[in-house]
């Protein structure tokens, strides 16, 4: 178990020693209505200390820059003047109205709302972004950085790559801290992480599992969370596609029992076919409108397709490798396979009668099939022998971590790969007990 120092040095921002001012005096109203006075901190601290000193102390706590601090405090005091109510007594709707403006530093304003306004859900802010920044401002930059460093260190020791952690871990940690209301890792519970797994962002939800591995290694959790299956389902654009064709595609997607990723991939192929139909065959909007000529034309179009040619509007911002170049033979084969599956299911499920045979008229051309498949790379004999030797001599010290797979399983997979030549998916399908002792020695004829 990897241990780290407990976060006992963390001291939450204490609001109890500040006097709560329930109403504004006439002097307060006069001062706060003057724009010049609202930016004069020295004058404000002597004239309206109960309103200003907590705000200035939070400036120090959050570490916001002087320029943003002045404008942020000024906008809070202006809203106090406008509502004729001290900020300690604002409603959530009043805080949201302020936080949804462009004035001041939104993370600092969120920290004020959190500590001095009892507004504990900054996630409700319309333009809430970068949860790590909000958590740093609300709880303090030092505690956030310290806890992030602790978690990164223990996850690196478990074999996670530093580059990936530095890029993504701060976001999920910020989300969990804000949800928990306490930044200390020792206060994180299994229930908090399970709730995090249901986050609307799939990226955040996936990273919660990594956090649980780190907390288990630190001794905070008894064991990591079980891995969940996440369906990366993002609704795709239907712009430029006949609505009737879209409805058939969606009906197939909602009925198919294929795996989520396969279903989504096929659905994308079908929608992209709809783009071509709208451009080249606008009179075809339903599977029953297809005939053998339509099949021949679409096969020819797919065979000549270039990367990005039938791209959906929702994918136009994606950087495509080889944009404008002919698509790979494997992509052509996958495209035609998706169409065949769609039309076969259409007829099999009794949705209508086709005017062609999908297996015959949408078959992959021989030239495409010949150029498809695996293109293995030749490995030098000396390099391969090193791999074989390594597979036979794997030891516990060679593993980065056993957090996912035990040593015995890694040894078995390595030997199977180097001695049978099976692909990864073939190895995954091997059943327990498939290996057995060789009954006799191998005798070479020479």
What are the CA-CA distances from residue 373 to residues 261, 332, 368 (Å)?
Answer: 20, 12, 10
Residue 348 located in a structural domain:
yes
What's the pLDDT at 92?
A: 84
Residue whose C-alpha is closest to residue 267's, from 375, 152, 345, 206: 345
Query: Is-contact 338 354, C-beta < 8 A?
Result: no
Give the H or E element holding residue 207.
Answer: helix 202-217
- Determine which of 48-52, 122-126, 191-195, 370-374 has the lowest per-residue pLDDT on average: 370-374
Q: Is the domain of 184 the same as that of 108?
A: no
d(CA 212, CA 226): 9
Residue 18 located in a structural domain:
no
Residue 225 located in a structural domain:
no
Residue 5 located in a structural domain:
no
Indicate whether 289 pLDDT > 90: yes
Query: Of 68, 101, 128, which closes a domain?
Result: 128
Query: Is-contact 247 253, C-beta < 8 A?
Result: no
- Determine which of 53-67, 158-172, 219-233, 414-428 has the lowest per-residue pLDDT on average: 219-233
Query: Of 75, 102, 128, which closes a domain?
Result: 128
Tell me what the mean pLDDT of segment 347-367 comes to: 92
Residue 209 pLDDT grade (very low, low, confident, very high; cuts 50, 70, 90): confident
Instruction: Give the single-character DSSP code of 103.
Output: S
Query: Is-contact 88 124, C-beta < 8 A?
Result: no
Instruction: Give the single-character DSSP code of 315.
Output: G
Indicate whether 247 pLDDT > 90: yes
Residue 288 located in a structural domain:
yes
Q: Is the domain of 290 the same as that of 356?
A: yes
Indicate whether 297 pLDDT > 70: yes
d(CA 274, CA 199): 33
Residue 79 located in a structural domain:
yes
Please give the residue range of the domain that contains residue 412.
Answer: 378-446
Q: Is the domain of 363 the same as that of 258?
A: yes
Is 427 or 226 the better-scoring residue by pLDDT? 427
Q: Is the domain of 248 the same as that of 356?
A: yes
What's the pLDDT at 2?
A: 44
Query: Of 72, 94, 128, which closes a domain?
Result: 128
Question: What is the tens place of the pLDDT at every residue in 74-106?
Answer: 888 888 888 888 888 888 888 888 888 766 678
Indicate whether 359 pLDDT > 90: yes
Q: Is the domain of 253 the same as that of 213?
A: no
Residue 245 pLDDT grade (very low, low, confident, very high; cuts 50, 70, 90): very high
Q: What's the start-to-end Cα distance of the chain, in Å?
A: 53
Question: Coil, strand or helix: which one is 238?
Answer: coil
What's the pLDDT at 230?
A: 47
Q: What is the mean pLDDT of the chain?
A: 82
Q: Is the domain of 118 the same as that of 145?
A: no
- Determine which of 62-66, 87-91, 226-230 has the lowest per-residue pLDDT on average: 226-230
What are the CA-CA distances from residue 27 to residues 23, 131, 306 (Å)?
Answer: 11, 39, 72
CA 336 to chain centroid, in Å, comes to 30
Tell me what the mean pLDDT of segment 346-363 comes to: 93
Query: Is-contact 166 152, C-beta < 8 A?
Result: yes
Q: Is the domain of 97 the same as that of 186?
A: no
- Among the ranges 16-30, 302-316, 331-345, which has the highest mean pLDDT value? 331-345
What are the CA-CA distances from residue 224 to residues 162, 216, 264, 404 (Å)?
Answer: 20, 6, 30, 10
Tell me what the mean pLDDT of segment 234-246 comes to: 84
Indicate whether 8 pLDDT > 70: no
- Among the ranges 58-67, 243-252, 377-386, 395-404, which has the highest mean pLDDT value? 243-252
Please report, rounded to a whole number, the percentage of residues in the chain having pLDDT higher than 90. Answer: 21
pTM for this predicted structure? 0.58
Q: Is the domain of 100 the same as that of 174?
A: no
Is 315 or 419 the better-scoring residue by pLDDT? 419
What's the pLDDT at 3?
A: 45
Q: Is the domain of 314 the same as that of 351?
A: yes
Q: Is the domain of 382 the same as that of 359?
A: no
Query: Rounded to 5 degrees, what are φ and ψ at 261?
Result: -65, -40
What's the pLDDT at 372?
A: 67
What's the pLDDT at 277?
A: 92
Tell me what the mean pLDDT of segment 361-387 comes to: 80
Residue whose C-alpha is closest to residue 254's, from 224, 233, 226: 233
Q: Is the domain of 309 the same as that of 360?
A: yes
Count of domains observed in the chain: 4
* Cα angle value 155/160/163 (rounded, 5°): 105
Residue 134 located in a structural domain:
no
Residue 17 located in a structural domain:
no
Q: List, in sequence order, the alpha helices (H) in 355-406.
A: 358-361, 366-371, 381-392
Q: Is the domain of 170 the same as that of 122?
A: no
């Amino acid at each position: 178990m990897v241990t780290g120092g407990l976060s006992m040095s963390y001291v939450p921002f204490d609001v109890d020693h500040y006097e709560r001012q329930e109403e504004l005096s006439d002097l307060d109203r006069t001062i706060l209505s003057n724009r010049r006075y609202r930016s004069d901190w020295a004058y404000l601290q002597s004239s309206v200390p109960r309103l200003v000193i907590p705000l200035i102390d939070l400036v120090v706590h959050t570490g916001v820059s002087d320029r943003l601090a002045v404008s942020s405090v000024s906008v809070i005091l202006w809203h106090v003047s406008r509502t004729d109510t001290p900020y300690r007594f604002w409603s959530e709707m009043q805080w949201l109205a302020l936080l949804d403006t462009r004035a001041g530093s939104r993370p600092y304003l969120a920290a004020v709302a959190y500590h001095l306004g009892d507004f504990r859900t900054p996630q409700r802010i319309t333009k809430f972004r970068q949860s790590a920044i909000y958590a740093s401002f609300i709880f303090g930059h030092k505690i956030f950085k310290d806890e992030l460093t602790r978690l990164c260190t223990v996850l690196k020791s478990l074999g996670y790559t530093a580059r990936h952690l530095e890029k993504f871990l701060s976001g999920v940690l910020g989300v969990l801290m804000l949800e928990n209301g306490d930044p200390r890792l020792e206060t994180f519970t299994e229930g908090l992480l399970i709730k995090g797994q249901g986050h609307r962002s799939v990226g955040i939800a996936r990273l919660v599992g990594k956090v649980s591995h780190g907390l288990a290694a630190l001794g905070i959790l008894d064991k990591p969370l079980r891995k969940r299956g996440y369906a990366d389902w993002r609704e795709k654009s239907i712009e430029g596609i006949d609505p009737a064709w879209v409805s058939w595609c969606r009906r197939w997607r909602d009925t198919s029992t294929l795996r989520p990723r396969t279903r989504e991939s096929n659905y994308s192929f079908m929608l992209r076919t709809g783009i071509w139909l709208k451009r080249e065959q606008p009179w075809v909007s339903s599977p029953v409108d297809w005939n053998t000529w339509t099949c021949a034309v679409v096969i020819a179009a797919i065979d000549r397709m270039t990367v990005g040619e039938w791209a959906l509007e929702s994918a136009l911002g994606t950087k495509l490798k080889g944009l404008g170049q002919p698509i790979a033979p494997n992509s052509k084969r996958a495209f035609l396979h998706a169409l065949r599956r769609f039309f076969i299911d259409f007829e099999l499920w009794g949705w209508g009668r086709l005017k062609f045979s999908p297996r015959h008229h949408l078959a992959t051309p021989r030239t495409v099939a010949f150029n498809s498949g695996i293109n293995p790379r030749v490995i030098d004999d000396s390099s391969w022998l090193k791999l074989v030797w390594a597979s036979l001599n794997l030891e516990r010290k060679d593993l980065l971590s056993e957090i996912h797979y035990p040593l015995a399983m890694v040894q078995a997979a390595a030997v199977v790969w180097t001695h049978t030549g099976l692909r990864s998916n073939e190895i995954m399908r091997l059943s327990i007990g498939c290996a057995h002792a060789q009954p006799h020695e191998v005798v070479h004829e020479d």
